[in-house]
Structure 1
Amino acid sequence: MEIRQPAVAGMFYPESPQDLGNTVKSLLAIDDPITMVPKVLIVPHAGYIYSGTVAAKAYHLLEPLKNTIQRVVMFGPSHRVPFTGLALPAAEAFNTPLGMINIDKIAIEQAAQLEDVQILDIAHTHEHCLEVQLPFLQTMLASFKLIPFVVGHASAESVANVIEQFWGGPETLIVISSDLSHYHPYQEAKTIDAATTEKIKLLDYHLHGEEACGCKPINGILLTAKRKGLEVTTLDTRNSGDTAGPKDTVVGYGAYALR
């Protein structure tokens, strides 16, 4: 069995299974009055000390769905490898310090036949945007299979068509991985991220890279949401100046739920 091993354990999150488990549980131990059953989560993908508290606002919503969700379809931007379309891994499982997650092989075979989708293992090998989400999912869900897409240069229509192919029912969760603005002064970043959040709420699927590094997958899900009549709930928006970094240059983070 070909297994995709962790690339950023010990950097973006703890490498020790015990430390990682404790960290994730601590992040998820929040008192939040928002209760809803999401179909889609948009979550950040920085190191846990920076964006973990924001991501946890989304993942804690999965508690009542622990035994319902059986499949997670993930979309995140390529940070290292330039390519056109959407990339699937050749691996049959993804490994994290918390254990193995099996890939939905039947779905992968189906997805590989779609226009704009290819098997491109190198796009996954060192990519962190999907990997950092997995310990949260492993903690919140009893058991699930994974369909992971890294998104390169792709239109909103291309991404939306793939999302709709694997939309499924209550057993399927869609996860979109993206940070917001990058490397602006604190107040400027807050202004940019507030405008981006407003666009997301309005299902404006024309975001660009300066607004969100995962603009391609976000645009795809917003187009899908417009087609399906979904609504967006903003769960949290912060930046690294609020969490664990200086305020002279920050990265923005947002957590959103769609249903």
Structure 2
Amino acid sequence: MAKVRYPAVAGSFYPSGQALIGMLEEFLGDLGEEGSERRITAGVAPHAGYVFSGYTASRIYKAIFEDGLPETFVILGPNHTGMGSPIAVYPSGKWRTPLGDVDVDSEMARAISRLSGIADLDETAHTYEHSIEVQLPFIQYLAKKAGKDVKIVPITLGIQDEEVAEDLGKAIFEAGGELGRDVVVIASTDFMHYGPMYGYIPFRARADELPHRIKEWDFRVIRRILDFDVRGMFRELKEMNHTMCGPGGVGTAIVYSRLAGAVEAELLHYTTSFEVSRSTDAVVGYASIVMRK
């Protein structure tokens, strides 16, 4: 019997019952027909609670659906828990959400681990991590709408730097080529984490000015991503002491996309949690970005 990774944040980050389908239908109410171009190589999506970032995340999945679903989504998320291997590729089995099960592409997982100089096959890092799990209902909803089976390769990153991005981006590209896989890479990340709850207040601003100031800081990083500039992205993060939580995954998506022939990147949507919460104690920036051939 295949091993099942059970949901850790259903009922908190996203609804656990029928309300989940209603929320996804609301987010994706403007969904067009499934396409077949397959120009998209990678996307960046947030991983907060759906009430805060679900619509922003939906924009990348709408774009992928209308471009054509791949065989396999390689999903990279930061390791918030500190558990398991620093670079952990989930090896095999199924991931469960309230929408059912999705299979892990075990061949692709093994190939990435083998071709990478740093990644391990490890389940432990994924046990309670939410950054990948929250992406799955979008993928499952759209796969069902298309009548297709898609697979996933979940990878958590406890180390996030340029070297990790170069290694993993190359390993994913080579693994896909070796196996003949049609792949889209998803980099799961939130952007600036501002406020006393995060212990990070790099500037002071009135409540009505705060989202704009956070957007200014985030866009310094986003501009580098849109230019496929991994080194520049990490340089900006260091110079700003920026609190983006998943730069390693974004760097990996950029490296993979360059190798896969991507020539353009587009910001699809940006918002902050302040738009919903109106709280200045903890404000987070969210962006969805697509990379295309």
TM-score w.r.t. the length of structure 1 is: 0.88
Match status 1:258 vs 2:259: no
Residue 177 of structure 1 is matched in structure 2 by 188
Equivalent residue runs for 1:42-121 within 5 Å: 42-65=44-67, 68-81=69-82, 85-114=86-115, 115-121=117-123
Match status 1:233 vs 2:281: no
Distance 1:109 1:84, change over 3 A: closer
Letter in 2 for 1:246: S
Separation (CA, whole Å) in 2 of partners of 1:9 and 1:95: 10
Residue 215 of structure 1 is matched in structure 2 by 247
Separation (CA, whole Å) in 2 of partners of 1:31 and 1:71: 21
Moved over 4 A (4+): 82-85, 167-170
Residue 191 of structure 1 is matched in structure 2 by 216
Relative to structure 2, which stretch is displaced further, 5-14 or 227-236?
227-236
RMSD: 2.4
Please list the CA deviations of residues 88-146 of structure 1 after superposition, one character each: whole Å capped at 9, or x if unmatched: 22451100000000111222222332321102222100000100000000011231111
Letter in 1 for 2:131: C
Equivalent residue runs for 1:1-16 within 5 Å: 1-16=2-17
Please list the CA deviations of residues 31-81 of structure 1 after superposition, one character each: whole Å capped at 9, or x if unmatched: 89xx98422111000000000010111111133355x52211111111111
Distance 1:22 1:75, change over 3 A: same
Separation (CA, whole Å) in 1 of partners of 2:277 and 2:175: 36
Letter in 2 for 1:175: I
Letter in 1 for 2:244: A
Tell me if structure 1 keeps the 8 A contact 2:85–2:124: no
SS of 1:213 mapped into structure 2: coil
Separation (CA, whole Å) in 2 of partners of 1:87 and 1:170: 21
Identical aligned residues as a percent: 28
Relative to structure 2, which stretch is displaced further, 110-119 or 129-138?
110-119
From 150, 153, 176, give the equivalent of 2:156: 150
SS of 1:39 mapped into structure 2: strand
TM-score w.r.t. the length of structure 2 is: 0.79
Distance 1:236 1:204, change over 3 A: same
* Greater fraction of residues in helix: 2
Residue 275 of structure 2 is matched in structure 1 by 242
Match status 1:26 vs 2:65: no
Relative to structure 2, which stretch is displaced further, 46-55 or 181-190?
181-190
Please list the CA deviations of residues 168-204 of structure 1 after superposition, one character each: whole Å capped at 9, or x if unmatched: 5783221111111111543331111121111111222
Distance 1:11 1:212, change over 3 A: same
Please list the CA deviations of residues 191-245 of structure 1 after superposition, one character each: whole Å capped at 9, or x if unmatched: 1112111111122213337252100111122233344343111101111012344
Separation (CA, whole Å) in 1 of partners of 2:253 and 2:64: 19
Give the Å deviation of 1:84: 6.5
